[in-house]
Every structure is written in C-alpha cells, then in structure tokens.
Amino acid sequence: MKKTMSGAVAFLTGILAFPAIAESTSQLDQYQLNLTKGVTDISAEVYDLHMLMFIICVVIAVAVFGVMFYSMVFHRKSKGAKPANFHESVKVEIAWTVVPFIILIFMAIPAAQTLIAMEDSSSPDVSVLVTGSQWKWHYKYMDSDVEFFSVLATQPEQIANKFEKGINYLLEVDRPLVIPTGKKVRFLVTSDDVIHSWWVPDFAVKKDANPGFINEAWTKVNEPGIYRGQCAELCGKDHGFMPVVVIAKEPAEYEAWIAEQQDIQRRAKEEEQKLLAMNMEMGELMEVGERVYLATCAACHMPNGEGLPGAFPALKGSDMALNDMQAHIDIVVNGKAGTSMQAFGKQLSLKELAAVITYERNAWGNNTGETVQAKDVNALVTGQ
Amino acid sequence: MSTVTDHAHHEDDHHHHAPSGIKRWLFTTNHKDIGTLYLWFAFIMFLTGGAMAMVIRAELFQPGLQIVDPHFFNQMTTVHGLIMVFGAVMPAFTGLANWLVPMMIGAPDMALPRMNNWSFWILPFAFTILLASLFMEGGGPAFGWTFYAPLSTTYSGDTTALFVFSVHIMGISSIMGAINVIVTIFNMRAPGMTWMKMPLFVWTWLITAFLLIAVMPVLAGVVTMVLTDKFFGTSFFDAAGGGDPVMFQHIFWFFGHPEVYIMILPAFGIISAIVPTFSRKKLFGYASMVYATTSIALLSFIVWAHHMFTTGMPVAAELFFMLATMLISVPTGVKVFNWVATMWRGSLTFEVPMLFALAFIVLFTIGGLSGLMLAIVPVDFQYHDTYFVVAHFHYVLVTGAIFSIMAAVYYWLPKWTGKMFDITLAKWHFWCSLISVNVLFFPMHFIGLAGMPRRIPDYALQFADFNKWISIGGFAFGLSQLLFLWLLIKACRKEGEPVSDQVWEGAEGLEWEIPSPAPYHTFETPPVIK
Amino acid sequence: MAQQEYERYYVPDQSPWPIVGAVALFLIAFGAGNFVVESTSDKDGFGGWTLLAGLATLLVMLVGWFRNQIHESMSGMYSAQLGRSYRQGMAWFIFSEVMFFAAFFGALFYARVISVPWLAGEGNNAMTNEVLWNGFEAAWPLLVQPMDALAGGEASTKMMPWTGLPLINTALLLVSSVTLHYAHVGLEQGKRSKLIGLLGLTIVLGSIFVVLQGMEYVHAYRDLDLTLDSGVYGNTFFLLTGFHGMHVTLGTIILIVLFLRCLKGHFTPDNHFAFQAGSWYWHFVDVVWVLLFFFVYIL
Ligand code: HEA
Ligand code: HEA
Ligand code: CUA
Ligand SMILES: [Cu+2]
C-alpha cells in the first residue's frame, strides 16, 4: 500500500504546486496551466472565483482522502486491525449533509453576484454585431458603416506540416475585430448557419451564436493589446479553424481606425462600379479566382475541386460548372437555403465572385474556356 | 432439489439445462447467459470506442493535421462518445444487473426472460448500423454525441437517418432492459427480502431503471424531431419557422443529464458492495445511502441546463440551474463519506476489486469536484467546451463508471466461473491502468484551463507538450486494457484455482451462499432470507 | 420443503422469437434509414423493401411469440406472480410512452411560451426581433412564421378549429373508454355477450376516430394550408396528433386481436392479463388525446 500512499501524495502536491510548474516549463509567452486572469474587471473576478472554487475543492479532497488514506494505512488487516462494529449514526449523517450545504452557500453567493454583473449588457458605448458562419466571423459595427469578415490567416501549409508553424498558429486572422479600451462594448452574437460560440478568454466572454437569435455579451477592456480566442462550439468540419482575434485600442486610435475603415469601404464600392464597364482577361481572372477559391471555397469543395462525397459536392466535372453558367453564378451569389452552401454575394466583391466562378469553370480539367465578368454577376445580383 | 443448499450437491443435474452451441446464445432466456452476452458485447464496444479514442489521441499527438482529416476526426469524436456511452457503459451495467440482481434477491431469473433476450440482441444490430454508416457516402455522424441542431439537421450528411434509427432501437433495448430490471426487483424478491434489506447494487439499479424508463423515450422524441427537421421540413429547431435550436438542447439534456447518472448510480452500488467486503465491516449508513441515491436521481431531473450556460438563457434560469446542480454534491458527498466511514476502523485488505474500488473513490471524487466547479456559471463560461470539461467527464466516466465495472468484474468473476482469475495479471492491469489513466486525463485540466477547446483536430502551439503526454498516457491506458482482455479470455476458458462459495473472506449476501460457479438456474424455489 | 409454500415461477425455455424480433428491428431501422433518404432525394435503393421486409419479420415474430404466449397461458403454466410481472411490465411500458409524448408536449410548450415570444422580442431578445426578424409578432397558433414576416407576406396557413371533427373525435374516444371499461366489467362478471358487444363497439368507435382523423388531415392540407412544414404550429400539430393517431391505430389492432380471442373464449374472469393490458393501453391513449385536445386545439 506504500505505493498508493506515495502516489497520492505526489498527486496532491502536483495539484497544489502547479503554478510553480507553470513557471518552470514555460517556453512560450502564453504558456500557462491555469485560467487566465484576463484584462477586464470581470475576467479578474471570474479568475478569483475560479481560484476560490479550486481551493475549496482541494481542501475537501485533501480532507476526504486524508481520512481514507489514514484508514488504509492504519486499519489494515495485515497490521492486525480488528473490524469495529458501528455502521450507522444519524448525527454524523446529518453533520455531513449540513456542512457541505453550508459550503455550497458560500460558493453560490459570490458566483451569483459576478453572474448578474456579467449578464448586464445595458447602456453600451459601442455595439458590434458578431455573426458566425462556417467557418469565419463577420463583424458589423452597429453605429458606423463598417463591416467585414474575419478568416483564419494561418497558411494551409503550416497546418499540413509543410511549413514551420508560426507563434500564433491557428490563432491569427486576416482582419481582427478592433474595439476601444475603457468603453463598454456590447457584442450581439448570432449565426448564419449552425451554432458557433464566440470566445475570448481574456474577456471571460463566451456566448453561443445561435442562428435566428441574438445573444448579448459585453466587455470593458482595461489594457490595449491583441487578444485571441477560438470558436467554442462544434460547428462542423473546420470548427478548429475559426479563431477570434480582437485588438483593443485607445479610444482615439479606435476612432481614427473606424474613420479610415469607413473610407476604405466606401472607396471599394466605387471601385466596384467602375469594374462593371470593364472586361478582365482569363489569366487575371484565373489568378484572382484561384486565390479566392483556396481562401474561401476549398474548405468544403477541397483544393482539388473534388469535394467530400456525401457532404460537399465535387465541382470538378460537375454538370453545373460545365454547362449551366446562370445556375452557377446563382448558387455562389445566393447560396442554397438549407445547405451549408452559403450566399457569397455579400462576402466577396463582384470581381472576386466573377473570378472564382471563372476559376471553377476552368480549373481541374473543367475546360469550358468561358470567362465570367463582374457585370455578369451584377446582372444576376440586381436581377437584370 | 427444492432448496438452495441442495443445488450444491446436484449441480450436474442442471447441466442439461444449458444447451450448447450457438443456439444457446441466440435463443437463450437465462439471465446468466444474457448477462455474459451483455458483458462481452460491452467489452468489445469498449475496445472499439477505445480504438477510436486512439485515433483521436494519435491525431492530437502533435499540432498540425497528420493522420485524419477534420471531417473524419469529428466522426471519431462523435462515434467514440456514442459507443462508450450507449455501447460500453450502459450494456455493461445491464449485464451486471442480469447476472447479479436475480442472485441477490433470490429470484429464479429475470421477470421477463424472453424480452431480456430481445433487449440484448437489438444492441449488436443497432451498433452495426451506427458503425456501418462510417463507411457510407458522407461518413458517419460528425456532430458530437450531443448532436446539436442544426448541425445535425440541415447541415448533416444523409446517414443522419441511420443514426436516428439506430438510436431509436438502442432506446427500445434500454427501455425493455430497464423494465425487466424494475419488474424483477418489484416482483421477484424472495420472501423476507424486504426493501431495506436489498443490497445497494439492487437499489441503485432500481433507481437507474426508473431513470432509464423516464428519459430514454425523451431521447427517442428528440431524435425524431431531428429526423423530421432534416428530412420532412419541420422547423422545431429553426427560428425561421418559430422554433429554436436551443430547444433541441433543452430536450436533449433533459435526457442527457439523467443519462450521466444512469452511468454512475450502478457504480455506486458496486462500490457499496466491495468496500464493506474488504473492510470486513458492514456498510456505514445503509439507509442514508438509499436516500442519497434517490435524491441524486430526483435532482437529476432539474439540473439539465448546466450544460447550456452559454446559450443565452435568462439570468434567473442560470441561477436556478446552478443552485440545483450544486445541490447534487450533497447526496453524492454523503455516499463518499459513507464509504470512507465504512473503511474507518475496519480490517482492510487490498485484493484487486478493492484496489479498483479505492481508485474509484479517489478519482471519482476528483471528477465530481471538477463537476462542481463547472456548475458555477461565471466560471463555466470559461470552462465550457474546453478540455476541462473533457477532463471532468472522463474522470467520472473512465475512472468512475469504467473502473467500477472492472471492480465488479474482478469481484464477481470467480463466482461466475468458479475459478480465481490470474491475480498477478490483474494487479498489473490495475497499476498500469491507474498510472496511465492519470497521465491521460489529469493534464486535460491544465490545457482546458489554458484555453484549448474540445472537439478540435488541431491546436495552438502552447498546448503541444501536454497533448503529447496525454496521448502517451492514452496509448498506455489502451495497451493496459489488453491485459484485461487476456485475463478475461483466460477466465472464460476456466483456467485458475477453484474458489470457495464465499470466494472473498468478508463477502456477504445471497450470491455468496450459492455454489461457485453459480449453477445455471439459481433459485428454483425462493431461498429463505435470514 | 418449500414446494407447497411457493408457486413455481415460469421461466420459459429457449425461444427463437426474440432474435427474430431483433433482426426485424434491424431491418426496420436500416430500411427506414435508407428509405427516408431515398424518398426525400432522387437517390434510389432498397430502403423501402428492407423496411417492408423488417415489418413483415416483425409481424411473423409477433404472431409466433404471442401464439407461444397464449398457448402457455391457456395451459395454465403461469402463476399469479407472473401475472403481476406482466402487469407491472405493461404499466412501466405505458410510463415510457407517457415520457415519449412528454417530449413533444415539451416542444409545444417551449415554442409557445419561449421561442415564439423571444423571436418577437420578449425578454432579453429585443435585438433578436429588431435585427433579425423585424416585423414578426408573436401569436399562437403561429400562422405568420418569422420567415413570412420578413418576406412581408401574409399567412396562408389557417388555424385548425377545435369545434367540428376534433370535438366529435374527443367524444368518440371518451365514449370508447367507457365502453371498454364496461366490456372489462362484463369479462370479470363472466357476461360474454356484454363483453363482446361492448368490445366490438369500442373497436368501431376507435376505427371511426382514425378515419375522421385522416379526414381532418386531408382538410388541413387541402383547405387550411396547414401542413407538416408550416412552422412550429404545423410541426407540433402533426407530430402530436400523428403519433397519437398511430397509437390509436395500434390500440385498435390490439383490441381487434383481443376481440378475436374473446370470441375463441380465451379469457376467464380471473385470467385475462392480455385484455387488461390492452385496455390500459387504450385508456392511456385516451388520456393523451384529452391533453392533446386541450393544448393543441383549444388553447
Ligand atoms: C458519470 C457521469 C457523470 C457524473 C457522475 C457527473 C457528475 C457531475 N457533473 Fe458532469 N458531465 C458528464 C458526466 C458526469 N457528470 C458528462 C459526460 C459531461 C459532458 C457532456 C458533454 O458536453 O459532452 C458533463 C458535463 C458537466 C457540466 C457541463 C460543463 C460544460 O459543458 O460547460 C457540468 C456543469 O455543471 C457538470 C456538473 C456535474 C456535477 C456538479 C456533478 C456532480 O454529480 C458531482 C458530485 C460529486 C462531488 C461534488 C464529489 C464528491 C463529494 C464530496 C466529497 C462532498 C463534499 C463536496 C462539497 C459539498 C463541495 N458536468
Ligand atoms: C464511458 C465513456 C468514455 C470512455 C470509457 C472514454 C475513454 C476514452 N476517451 Fe473519451 N469521450 C467520451 C466518453 C468516454 N471516453 C465522451 C462522451 C466524449 C465526448 C464526445 C463528443 O465530444 O461528442 C469523449 C471525448 C473524448 C475526447 C475529446 C475528443 C474531442 O473533443 O475532440 C478524447 C480526447 O482525448 C477522448 C479520449 C479518450 C481516451 C483516450 C479514452 C480511453 O480511456 C480509452 C481506452 C481504451 C482503449 C484504447 C481500448 C483498448 C485497446 C485496444 C482496442 C487496442 C488498441 C490500442 C492501442 C493501439 C494503443 N475522449
Ligand atoms: Cu464555429 Cu466552431
Ligand atoms: Cu449534467
């Protein structure tokens, strides 16, 4: 029985000493073993609550296992222990019903207080509509004209172990969400397809994105910085590949950023209109198309266009991609209701749409030789 | 041949009752045969589900995608969960109930022997369907064992229909099994076997059976809604038609939470049988154990939404479910304290079943305490859907339910076969399992707290070291189970020393008064209970 | 020694029927799983045939098993204790059915009390309505679904009134419960003609119910545009009444079998478990209907 004892002792000291282990084995900056303290008042409260619960649990465990191991060591038959006769006691039973109950009340009170504070999303300074879809986030600032998609930026080659992995492997996006520090930012969380969950550990915010409903959460970040999180609800194949990155900036910087974005987005729309009059070369379309395809479509239809039989159709050799151009444009722009084929019309520019459709009609042996131009797509969008 | 003791001397008379060949197993109405079938089936499923866990752990050994693609990874996670829950733990407990309940209460057999056979034989077919779907176009279920809509409806593959129907027939099997147990206990107790004399294993199974009958039909209902949402245009879980995806979760967890207690209450019964035996002292607080089990079962109906704290429920609901969940710790604590009090000033020895039982008490408590932490809503926002949850439920399920099943097998196996199992091998099995299981699941707490989400095939670099260790622990734990397989094969081939009727010094109860091996038909007339 | 004191409990010998039943369920599940896909897409395969084969096997199994059972029962192999086992088994089975319906009633209540009001902005869901379903208003029955509201459209679905067929059906079922009860009384009193007459009447009432229910569905689809896919109102309406209707159909078949057995004189005043089980089942189906009538139609 020595083994059990020493094993258990090692085990318990292990639990208690883990902050120390964390120190010694740390290789990366974020390397940690415990919950983050985060960067908001709430997240700090949550951390304290976590430590309180943890310590209570360890104390209970030590007490219970202590008695148990004592008995295992000293009440052994091999040591000549004779069994005692007692086998019930109402008093004892009541005691160990009531005492835990009281402990629970002590746990519940601070928990309830923190919870109520967390759920009060009233009177925000900034509101952002956060929409999950397979497998990216869309952010829309409710008080200004800025909206954009935020997609995983890690190179596929890193995931496939061909390139060396960067420090923020899987936790980097092309366009992070930007929010001001010191302001109450409210997140209106929803989804376009399946359930996702928007999670930033440093804010202690995790809210499910339920399609058709809007959940509210809020944060007030104390320090500027880059904060990383992930989608926390199984949402299909690439659930592991839809990170959340938030940059908190000083309010002045934030305002400047918003203004800049508004400008950029306005100019992009103007650009778009100009494009309608032009025709693009096959070569250019294919080049842009390939980039867009790999970034946006390959997750489902696979880089080789063969899809995943039974889940995502092949585009290589597909009847639609070979023959029916109108239907092809339509399904890419409007998606197909009731399937995971989403409407890309508002995600991609006219040029990108035209390019990706052209690409699909000419790649992997789909040699239709046809090009699709921005105006073709626009015709469908505007219903002409 | 009319009394129990007579059997000892007329054992041979009974051999003609045990038909031989394949028909014995296909057509059987004997609770012991059916129990054996259930147990072997459960073990095979454990190996199958375990093999899938090995795929998961191999993929997670390093960051990056190396062995399987994400879609297949999700299928592995899902089917691993489903198989372990419905194919391994539940049938194993039903198998134990089959073997033991009639022997413990002095009944000739289960109340409804033919239905018993039917309940069993549905299972291999149900799992054939589930497993077959993995090889079909679109692959098997890939939406988690919790199959949240609309991932399992609008966005799932066609094989969802097979998943739904296989769950239906599994449900039929469990319900029939549960009815059988409940009726046996109500109606087949030998005269004198009053309620408060029943062994706790019988009590816990009675309550488990009640839970099963209450919640399996709800599962059947919710999969039916998934089916109609996916194929027949209903919108139970679709806001566009006035439904709500979160409604799925409410109905699922109304089943799901009692389900997790279905997987632990019989374990409590087993531990309550083993600890007194090897402490040579009566179970402390028998009556309070019964009340505690009942309270756990009743509370389990009002805590379901603790799985859904992040879904955006109103604060009042979150508070209610938090408090109700925390309350469950009280009766569970009573159980743990009673076991410890039973050991206190006993005369302890550490045979293999006792080793597993002790490991159970410690490790289950660790799992229970992390459950308590999960119940605290504000922190659950941080824990939810991370490996902290995975750590929690593997502690209660693997070192809880599975360890208790192993303890039970070691405890009663000599009674079943009449031979002592290979003790050295069993000790190896225990120590290898104990160490590797903690290497496997303990670090999951850390990576969970550090922020690793569950159900992902690839992860950020800061989780790499621990995942490597976890995987190594996983492979070691998997290999350790092969020792168990070997031991069981040897036991079934009746190798080993013959044992006495009582088998373990200190064992008490009807099953220890009949011969070892237990005769094919135990009590043709009811025994007399002192 | 104890031989006289205790009745022997009948433990049946080996039986082939359970495994036949398991095979039947396998074929049904596998067949149905494929059939559902095949019938809702343009794929083809053997799903339907497998399903039919399964149902046929199940029928064979039921006939074989029950014949076995009846034979044993009539040759007096059963004890009173076994009778109790059957009764308790049946009671728990009915409890499981109650819980099955509870899941659908739960869905109905959730939709009415929670999801529909939330979509209309109640509770902390103001933004849900404002941003996603602008213009949607809560109502029950839900005739204008959230997606219709977005399209600015009017409802084409109409509500199913509780007067008319549903009311008649309620009366039919309530009466049938009474007739069945007195048939049972007749059986216990050994009054054969009372038994057979009232049981026959019950069967007629049950069959009329099923037929009327079918007519109601036709009416719903043709005139009210109330279909399986017209939002949660239609969903809960059809699933609840549909599963109930299936239970009535099954109950009627059970009663018909009991009727034939009564004609053959299988039951005696103190040995008629099958009859009792069938009648419990029927009463249960009635109670479900009453709840259904109240919550689905009236409220
Ligand atoms: C056998 C199965 C089993 C058991 C017994 C339990 C027991 C408990 N579980 Fe667990 N649980 C699961 C299986 C189980 N669970 C599974 C499978 C999941 C994940 C499902 C999924 O999402 O896939 C899960 C998830 C889960 C969650 C959701 C987490 C999340 O997704 O965010 C929560 C939250 O409250 C929870 C809580 C609890 C609690 C409070 C108990 C309590 O019953 C524990 C009580 C025991 C103790 C507390 C220890 C002993 C007591 C004492 C020594 C007394 C003194 C102590 C005090 C008074 C503090 N569990
Ligand atoms: C009783 C239930 C039970 C049991 C026993 C287990 C046992 C194990 N589980 Fe699991 N698990 C669940 C229930 C269970 N699990 C559930 C419900 C989920 C959630 C699913 C979901 O998210 O939907 C889950 C999820 C889950 C995950 C998370 C997956 C994810 O989120 O993506 C992981 C990851 O490590 C894991 C690992 C393991 C391991 C290593 C074992 C080991 O204990 C298994 C050991 C057994 C064997 C290995 C078999 C024996 C050996 C052989 C067959 C020979 C081959 C061996 C080698 C090649 C070494 N399980
Ligand atoms: Cu999105 Cu997971
Ligand atoms: Cu739970």
Whether residue B1 is predicted with pLDDT greater than 50 in this model: the reply is no
Task: Say which residue the tokens 């002192």 belong to.
Answer: B530
> Would you state the pLDDT for residue C156?
76
pLDDT at A45: 94
Angle between helices A90-118 and A41-74 (to 10 degrees): 160
State the pLDDT at residue A274: 78
* Interhelix angle B113-133/B160-187, nearest 10 degrees: 160
What pLDDT does B235 receive? 92
Can you tell me which atom of ligand 1 is nearest the CA of B397?
Answer: 1
pLDDT tens-place string over residues B329-378: 999 999 999 999 999 999 999 999 999 999 999 999 999 999 999 999 99
Which residues have C-beta within 8 Å of that of residue A367, sequence separation ≥ 6? none
pLDDT number for residue A384: 61
Q: What is the mean pLDDT of residues B460-474?
A: 94
Asked if the model's pLDDT at residue C140 lies above 70, the reply is yes
| B500 carries an active-site annotation | no
Q: What is the predicted pLDDT for the residue at C70?
A: 86
Which of B62, B339, B366, B385 to substitute to test the interface with A, most A CBs within 10 Å? B385
Verify whether the Cβ–Cβ distance A168 to B340 is below 8 Å: no
What residue in C sits closest to A142 (Cα-Cα)?
C131
Give the chain A residue nearest C126 (alpha carbons).
Answer: A214
Q: Tell me: pLDDT of C7 over 70.
A: no
In angstroms, the separation between the Cα of residue B410 and the nearest Cα of chain C is: 29
Mind telling me how many Å the CA of A335 is from chain C's nearest CA? 17
> Is B168 a residue whose pLDDT tops 70?
yes
Average confidence (pLDDT) over A331-353: 84
Residue of A nearest to C147 (CA): A212
Which residue in C has a C-alpha nearest to residue B211's C-alpha?
C96
Alpha-carbon span B48 to B87, nearest angstrom: 9
Give the three-class secondary structure for B160: helix
Percentage of chain B exceeding pLDDT 90: 86
Give the active site residue among B31, B32, B189, B306. Answer: B306
Q: What is the pLDDT of residue B356?
A: 97
Q: What is the pLDDT of residue A376?
A: 83
Which residues have C-beta atoms less than 6 Å from ligand 3?
Answer: A 132, 135, 196, 231, 233-235, 239, 242
Residue, of C43 and A246, whose pLDDT is higher? A246
Query: Which residue is catalytic, options B168, B280, B454, B468?
Result: B454
Q: What average pLDDT score do residues C129-153 get? A: 87
Does the distance separating the beta carbons of C18 and B187 come in below 8 Å?
Answer: no
User: Is residue B57 in contact with ligand 1, taking CB distance under 6 Å?
Assistant: no
Share of chain B above pLDDT 70, in %: 96
Residue C6: what pLDDT? 57
For residue B49, report the distance from its CA to the centre of ligand 2, in Å.
7
Better-predicted residue by pLDDT, A352 or B443: B443
Mean pLDDT of chain B: 92
Active-site entry in B80, B230, B392, B394: B80
Ligand 2 probe mutation, B77, B85, B388, B405, most atoms within 8 A of CB: B77
* Set of chain B residues whose Cβ sits within 8 Å of the Cβ of A192: none
- What Å distances lie between residue B123 and B7, B179, B456, CA to CA? 33, 16, 30
Question: Is B244 an annotated catalytic residue?
Answer: no
What values do phi and psi take at A222, rounded to 5? Answer: -85, -35
Q: Could C119 and A188 be called an inter-chain contact, meaning their C-beta atoms sit closer than 8 Å?
A: no
Helices in chain C by DSSP H: which ranges?
Answer: 17-40, 47-74, 80-109, 116-119, 126-127, 146-150, 165-189, 192-219, 231-263, 273-292
CA of B256 to the centre of ligand 4 (A): 7
From atom 57 of ligand 1, which residue's Cα is the shortest distance away?
A100
Confidence of residue C171 (pLDDT cuts 50, 70, 90): very high
Residue C140, classed as helix, strand or coil, is coil
Neighboring chain A residues of B239 at a CB cutoff of 8 Å? 210-213
Quote the pLDDT of residue B17.
58
Task: Determine, for residues C127 and A212 on separate chains, whether the beta-carbon distance falls below 8 Å.
Answer: no
User: Is the pLDDT score of A14 beyond 70?
Assistant: no
Is B454 among the catalytic positions?
Answer: yes
* The one catalytic residue among B48, B152, B174, B436: B174
Which of B90, B389, B390 should be mutated for ligand 1, with most atoms under 8 A from CB? Answer: B389
Token pair for C107: 């869905």
Give the pLDDT score at C240: 95
Chain B window 220-279: which residues touch C at a Cβ cutoff of 8 Å?
220-222, 224-225, 227-228, 231-236, 239-244, 246-247, 250-251, 254
Share of chain C above pLDDT 70, in %: 98
Mean pLDDT of B230-242: 92
B chain contacts of residue A104, beta-carbon cutoff 8 Å: 326-327, 329-330
For position C86, what pLDDT does the model report? Answer: 92
Give the whole-angstrom CA distance, residue B478 versus residue B436.
9
Q: Are A216 and C119 an interchain contact pair (Cβ–Cβ within 8 Å)? A: no
Please indicate whether, in this complex, the C-beta atoms of B381 and A100 are within 8 angstroms of each other: no
B–C: how many Cβ contacts below 8 A? 242
A220-273 pLDDT, tens digit each? 999 999 999 999 999 999 999 999 999 999 999 999 999 999 998 888 888 877
Task: Say whether pLDDT at A199 is over 80.
Answer: yes
Q: Which positions in chain A touch C124 (Cβ < 8 Å)?
A: 216
Chain A contact present for C150, CB below 8 A: no
Among B3, B158, B164, the residue with its CB nearest the CB of C2 is B3
Put simply, whether C127 touches A (Cβ < 8 Å) is yes
Contacts of A among chains (3+ CB pairs under 8 A): B, C
| Residues whose CB falls within 8 Å of the CB of residue C280, separated by 6 or more in sequence, listed in order | C90, C91, C94
Contacts of A287 (CB under 8 A, 6+ apart): A355
Q: Is the pLDDT at C43 greater than 60, yes or no?
A: yes
Instruction: Give the position, in ligand 1's atom list, of the atom nearest the Cα of B256.
Output: 20
User: Among A18-22, A156-160, A261-265, which stretch is predicted with the lowest mean pLDDT?
Assistant: A18-22
Tokens of A280: 């693009």
Predicted pLDDT at A216:
94
Grouping H, G, I as helix, E, B as strand and the rest as coil, residue B293 is: helix
Question: In angstroms, rounded to a whole number, what is the distance separating the alpha carbons of residues B401 and B269?
Answer: 11
Known catalytic residue: B31?
Answer: no
- Compare B249 and A26 and report the one with higher pLDDT: B249
Any C CB within 8 A of B329 CB: no
Residue nearest atom 10 in ligand 1 by C-alpha distance: B371
pLDDT of A31 > 60? The answer is: no
- A341 CB neighbours in chain B (<8 A) are none
Chains touching C (3+ CB pairs < 8 Å): A, B
Q: Return the ligand 3 atom nearest residue A194 CA.
A: 1
Catalytic, out of B31, B257, B392, B429: B257
Residue B119: which pLDDT band, with cuts at 50, 70 and 90?
very high
What's the whole-model pTM score?
A: 0.92
Ranges B106-110, B301-305, C9-13, C122-126, most confident: B301-305
Q: Which residues of A touch C (CB under 8 A)?
A: 129, 188, 190, 212-214, 216
Rounded to an integer, what distance in angstroms lies between the CA atom of residue C255 and that of residue C258? 5
pLDDT digits over B385-416, tens only?
A: 999 999 999 999 999 999 999 999 999 999 99
For residues B432 and A10, the model is more confident at B432
The yes-or-no verdict on residue B35 having pLDDT over 60 is yes
Q: Is B318 in the pocket of ligand 1 (CB under 6 A)?
A: no
- The stretch A45-54 carries a mean pLDDT of 94
pLDDT of A323 over the 90 cut: no
Q: What is the mean pLDDT of residues C273-282?
A: 92
- pLDDT for position B530: 66
A214 and C146: CB-CB below 8 Å? no
Match 């159970």 to its residue by tokens.
B360
